[in-house]
Structure 1
Amino acid sequence: MTDIPLTGDFANGGVSFWYRQIGLPERRPALPGPRSYDVAIVGGGYTGLWTAYYLKKAEPGLRIAILEKEFAGFGASGRNGGWLSAEFAGSRKRHAKARGRQAMIDLQHAMFSSVDEVIEVTRQEGIDADIHKGGLIHVATNPAQRRRLRAELEDLRAWGYGEEDMRLLDRDEQRERVQVAGTLEAAYSPHCARIQPAKLAVGLAEAAARLGVDIFENTTVTAIRPRRDNAQAAAITTRGAVSADYVIRATEGFTASLAGQHRQWLPMNSSMIVTEPLPAEVWKHIGWQGNELLGDEAHAYIYAQRTADDRIAIGGRGVPYRYGSRTDVRGATQPQTVALLWRMLVKLFPAAADARIQHSWCGVLGVPRDWCSTVHLDHATGLGWAGGYVGSGVTTTNLAGRTLRDLVLRHDTELTALPWVGRQVRQWEPEPLRWTGVQLIYALFRAADRRENDHGTTTSPYARLANLISGR
């Protein structure tokens, strides 16, 4: 850490840079006591906010409450990398088993349109979230990554991606778009936009509140109870029970904190750093004038964006998992993780080597045992949920919110027929198997990356073993 250029008390400051930039929102009142609603939503992140927003737009008379332990947008919704991307988590073959190959292709196209749907809602609601639809670039920086990138692109063709949806860049176009050191191959997709995550979360919460959604913050939900006998479903909080016809769980990486949900979704940790604003001279070397989002083909991959105020924000896995499904301490990041991300930044962008790191933070995302996102509503019990986005949640939450709207209102639509609806996934193993397994998986991924960077021309056996253990 001593060689890393840090500046100010923003370095390793915990709360995401996105909130440092705009200021933490003023907290809304807590739940005043037991209440009854038509729909109660546990979790005030993107999933909960989109679900409430679309339900209220469709049926203004619905009484809807969001119950949030901290403040709306506190979790991954206010800490993510700002990728409004059409990439979808999980195995396409696994999703296709549920309802057929065409259903998975339909799901992919629904993700394409969801990117534009988010952009359109922000326009309608006057939400300025620094959105710029510049697309997404994936770079390969060694022969193994290049072979993997080409294979993945070929596979995507069979799952609804046309040449207009993703294509390889020729050498000249790749260099013209962004100069990433060591790039051997790059692919481009237009289906991605940069966002400022906290601005989107705050704006979406305000839009839902304007529609009449009750958002209760500083309200901890400890358990969710299904409908039984003549009693409604309920969210049990430290401030009283909230009963409702439907209770929707939208807690993503914090799901393990609910009674009976400890092994449901694994809270995977991801971390980010952001530089100071870079001068024009540095950008002359890097390019990146199109503000594309940027990722690589490493197994322990990175994700990055050029921010609206000319910084580089870059993220990746640090400490991937904490024993017992614990989460981070309000976003505080370990020094070794900051060092790792800084080394990746300098490796990819040597021109930014002298830039000071102005902030670091982390957060958790939800990972199901099969690494596939899911959305579900059980009319018998009154319980529903969506999540397990495995880091692809900025766009997928919007699709989830619209799908949950249709499920709650009992509308059979194209969205409710998509193959991620109603999927049941087995739980994660108990400790210490869970912790041991995740540590082994990421140790193997890091070893695979080292091997491929040194002399590998094909995907390392270490990575294949890691994927086998993980169940991807």
Structure 2
Amino acid sequence: MNTITMRPPVTAAKADRSFWLQSIDADAVTAPLSGSETCDVAIVGGGYAGLWTALRIKEQSPQTEVTVLEADFCGSGASGRNGGQVHTWFAEIDMLRALVGEDDALMLCRATADAIEELQGLQASGTIDMDLRLDGWLWTASSTAQEGAWAQAEALSRALGEARFQPLQRAEILRRTGSAASYVGIMEGRAGTVQPAKLALGLRQLALSKGIVIHEHSPVIEIAPGPRPQLRTVKGALFAGKVVLAANAWLSAIPELHPYLYVVSSQVIATAPATGILERIGWVDGASICDAQHHVLYYQRTPAGNVIFGRGTGGIAYRDHIDGRFNRSGDAGADNIRELHRVYPQLKDVPVLYDWSGPIDCTAQHLPVFGHLKDHANIFYAMGFNGTGIAQAPIAGRIMASLVLGRDDAWSRCGLVGLDNRTKLPPEPFRYVGAKVVRRAIRRKNDLEILNRKPDRLTRFLAGLAP
């Protein structure tokens, strides 16, 4: 019986927390685990994946005792740090079909559309105030190299009877966003933005109301597998019949999972409110916007007029060792500020008040994977959300609930379950050195293509090695 050692958490200082968390003064509301407790299902991680899994298990099996152990506080990780963009998996339907087949791909995409309606229902009923605004998701090009990035996904969706997207031209993009940087693209109408920290904390409150036990400030140090695994924290121990690992990038510490998982950073900034300028340029609604460069830009405006502007920077660490640099980049958001001013030169005099980062767990296929550890059929995992998770995590919860409860259904049988069809990544030091080289090439390629200049052949080759 080999003990599973978890990586110590690297929690963000208050000043390094996201705008979302700081704007609502988020923090823990439940007590740490102290002493010895038991439950039927223990969930490691109090973000979207962990909380949705807990809620789905309770929906299907109300008598099941579920306990969530969160290292910091619910929503303090990726769930409270992301860009707040809500869109379906139809944008990735071509990648899904390549991995799981057409039937499962269509089922999963439709399920994310249903999840958006579920979020709308939670807000409309007053259950969770998440600032959900379904004003659309715009996927655009701001250079010739980005044109048509959406073509395969859009064509496949249409061929399968799901006309989710409508074309966008320069005038409409300018009218919707107030920016002339992007000039062609598509839009998914039933999509938009949320305040991600409000959603996470709302899920925490909903879980507590359903009788789910949550212990915050309770990082799991190690797990002793067995018929009833023991999860050890600094001050306590939790004995469970089954365990769910939903700890995002921290699962890279588990040797069985690490070959399929790599950790990168994403950087986000938030400006001071600029309502007057935004109204003047016509950016007035809650649409989410992306451009199609490799290190994708994603942005939205809040109801109060702050501009949230994020970019997948691809920052990495040797052996995926996550440290404080993943909480804040150290350059005060300089790279994002440069891109913000390219897209919105009108905002050059608006102060940037917040900058933050966060680790993202990625798989080579850029799609999540679910299952149980090879030698421990009662220890399950959910990982690899790649920064797209607000409409996807409710589906993760359904898949995990079916696996944990032993159900034989479309969720437990779907092609996202299991590692057999997943690509292994190189071992260290090749992984780290190769990632550094590829990242540098991608940055060079992006910077040239934004100027409509063609990168040299070596740069294109190296950038093409990215998973």
TM-score (norm 2): 0.88
Which of 456, 463, 466 in structure 1 is aligned with 2:463? 466
Q: What is the deviation of 1:395?
A: 1.7
* 1:391 counterpart letter in structure 2: G
1:411 counterpart residue number: 407
Find the counterpart in structure 2 of residue 243 from structure 1: 239
Contact 2:93 2:109 in 1 (8 A): no
Q: Distance in 2 between matches of 1:465 and 1:393?
A: 28
Aligned equivalents of 1:133, 1:91: Cα separation in 2: 21
User: Secondary structure, in 3 states, of the residue corresponding to 2:149?
Assistant: helix
Q: Following the alignment from structure 2 to structure 1, what is the Cα–Cα distance between the partners of residues 455 and 194?
A: 34
Q: 1:177: Cα distance to partner?
A: 1.3
Distance 2:292 2:456 in 1: 11
Contact 2:271 2:306 in 1 (8 A): yes
Listed as ranges, the matches of 1:109-148 within 5 Å are: 109-124=110-125, 126-148=127-149
1:298 maps to what in 2? 293
Equivalent position amino acid for 1:44 in 2: G
CA distance, structure 2, for counterparts of residue 340 and residue 370 of structure 1: 27
User: Conserved in 2, the CA contact under 8 Å of 1:300 and 1:442?
Assistant: no
Alpha carbons of 1:351 and 1:271: their partners in 2 closer, same or farther (altered >3 Å)? same
Which residue of structure 2 lines up, in the alignment, with residue 9 of structure 1? none
Task: Assess if the C-alpha contact under 8 Å between 1:143 and 1:457 holds in 2.
Answer: no
Which of 441, 458, 461 is the aligned partner of 1:444? 441
SS across alignment from 2:89: coil
Q: Is the 8 A contact 2:267 2:329 kept in 1?
A: no
| 1:185 equivalent in alignment to 2:184 | yes
State the alpha-carbon separation in 2 of the partners of residues 337 and 161 from structure 1.
45
Deviation per CA, 1:89-134: give whole Å up to 9, x if none: 9784565454x32221222222222222223234446211111111
Please report how far the alpha carbon of residue 376 of structure 1 lies from its aligned counterpart in structure 2 after TM superposition: 2.0
Following TM superposition, by how much is the alpha carbon of 1:421 offset from its aligned partner in structure 2, in angstroms?
Answer: 2.2
- Give the alignment partner of residue 35 of structure 2, picking from 30, 33, 36: 33
Q: Structure 1 residues 275, 79: CA separation in 2 closer, same or farther (over 3 Å shift)?
A: same
Amino acid at match of 1:381: A
Query: Which structure is richer in relative contact order (CA contacts within 8 A, separation 6 or more)?
Result: 1
Q: Which moved more, 1:435-444 or 1:171-180?
A: 171-180
Give CA deviations for 1:298-321 in whole Å, capped at 9, x if unaligned.
112111111121111001134611
Q: Distance in 2 between matches of 1:117 and 1:458?
A: 44
Aligned to 1:221, what secondary structure does the other structure show? coil
Distance in 1 (CA, whole Å) between partners of 2:261 and 2:270 is 28
Quote the Cα distance in structure 1 between the aligned partners of 2:325 and 2:127. Answer: 29
CA distance in 2 between partners of 1:97 and 1:132 (Å): 31
Amino acid in the other structure paired with 1:58: Q
| Matched-pair contact (CA < 8 Å) for 2:70–2:216 | yes
Amino acid at match of 1:295: C
Change (3 A) 1:235 1:126: same
The SS at the match of 2:360 is: strand
Which of the residues 266, 279, 284 maps onto 1:283?
279
**CA-to-aligned-CA distance 1:281-304 (integer Å, 9 cap, x gap):** 44311x222321010011121111
Q: Is the deviation greater in 310-319 or in 341-350?
A: 310-319
Instruction: Report SS of the residue matched to 2:266.
Output: strand
Deviation string, structure 1 residues 23-52 (Cα, Å, up to 9, x no partner): 022442111123221100011111111111
| Deviation for aligned residue 1:55 | 1.4
Q: CA deviation at 1:76?
A: 0.3
Question: 1:220-231 to 2 correspondence within 5 Å?
Answer: 220-227=219-226, 231=227
Aligned 8 A contact 1:69 1:219 in 2? yes
1:314 to 309, 319, 326: 309
Distance verdict in 2 for CA 1:94–1:130, change over 3 Å: closer
Cα 1:147/1:104, change in 2 over 3 Å: closer
**Which amino acid counterpart does residue 395 of structure 1 have in structure 2?**
A
Is residue 77 from structure 1 mapped to residue 76 from structure 2 by the alignment? no
Query: For residues 8-19 of structure 1, what are the structure 2 equivalents within 5 Å?
Result: 13-19=15-21
**Structure 1 pair 320/157, CA: closer, same or farther in 2 (3 Å)?**
farther
Q: Which residues of structure 1 form unaligned runs of 5+?
A: 1-11
* TM score, norm. by length of structure 1: 0.87
Please give the alpha-carbon distance, in whole angstroms, between the structure 2 residues aligned to 1:277 and 1:76: 24
Residue 20 of structure 1 and its aligned partner are, at CA, apart by 1.0
Number of the residue aligned with 2:10: none
**Structure 2 unaligned regions, length at least 5:** 1-13
Q: Distance in 2 between matches of 1:147 and 1:375?
A: 31
Identity of aligned residues (%): 27
Aligned 8 A contact 1:43 1:249 in 2? yes
Deviation at 1:411, TM superposition (A): 2.9
Structure 1 contact 250–386 (Cα < 8 Å) conserved: yes
Change (3 A) 1:125 1:248: farther
Kindly indicate whether the alpha-carbon contact (under 8 Å) linking 1:89 and 1:389 is maintained by their aligned counterparts in 2: no
- How many residues of Structure 1 are paired with residues of Structure 2 in the alignment? 453
- Alignment match of 1:432 (pick from 426, 429, 432): 429
Equivalence for 2:367: 372
Find the residue that maps to 1:394 and give its secondary structure.
coil
Question: For residues 40 and 32 of structure 1, do their structure 2 counterparts lie closer, same or farther at Cα, with a shift above 3 Å needed?
Answer: same
Q: Distance in 2 between matches of 1:168 and 1:460?
A: 32
Q: Taking structure 1 as reference, are residues 22 and 45 closer, same or farther at Cα in structure 2, changes over 3 Å only? A: same
SS in 1 for 2:132: coil
Letter matched to residue 252 of structure 2? A
Aligned partner of 2:162: which letter? Answer: G
